[in-house]
Amino acid sequence: MARPKKQGLDYFPIDVDIFEDLEVEYAKFGADGFTIYMYLLTRVYKRGYYLEVDEDFLLVMAARLRMSEQKVMQVLNYLLKRSLFDNTLFQSDAVLTSAGIQKRFQLAVKERAKKNPINTGRYWLLKKEETEPFIKCTLFGDYSGKNE
């Protein structure tokens, strides 16, 4: 019997200067902001390159992190405002992803995907010329937020 195709990643890279990057300064939220951001990234990459979010997910996340739902929503809104996640896609489909996440995803799955190309759906944000050949996306142009 064939092994099932792996969807997500086992690990993902984090830049060593993450605390020096102005986009991810969490002075407003401190360690809680960083924890929420890392939690969301691990959930995204475990799934692949995006995460569908609903109210139950946010409740479970708040409980697991031992934080209030208000704090989780404040940080999430901040991350969306700072474009660490694509706000347009989140508002329309309650999906968390970004062009940066998808670029790192492509790099991480490069060797695996050369043998078994990865099919993407409507949440793929990168333009055709930014997408590696081993990523198969038939919906280029359907998402008005980023694609032409």
Question: What's the pTM?
Answer: 0.82
CB-CB contact of 37 with 84 (8 Å): yes
52: helix, strand or coil: strand
CA 126, 128, 130, 131 torsion-angle sign:
positive
pLDDT truncated to tens, each residue of the chain (148 aa)?
A: 666 667 788 878 887 887 776 666 666 788 899 899 999 999 999 999 999 999 899 999 999 999 999 999 999 999 999 899 999 999 999 999 999 999 999 999 988 888 888 888 889 999 989 999 998 887 655 444 444 4
pLDDT at 78: 92
Query: 118 has which bridge partners?
Result: 135
Pairing status of strand 95-96 against strand 51-52: antiparallel
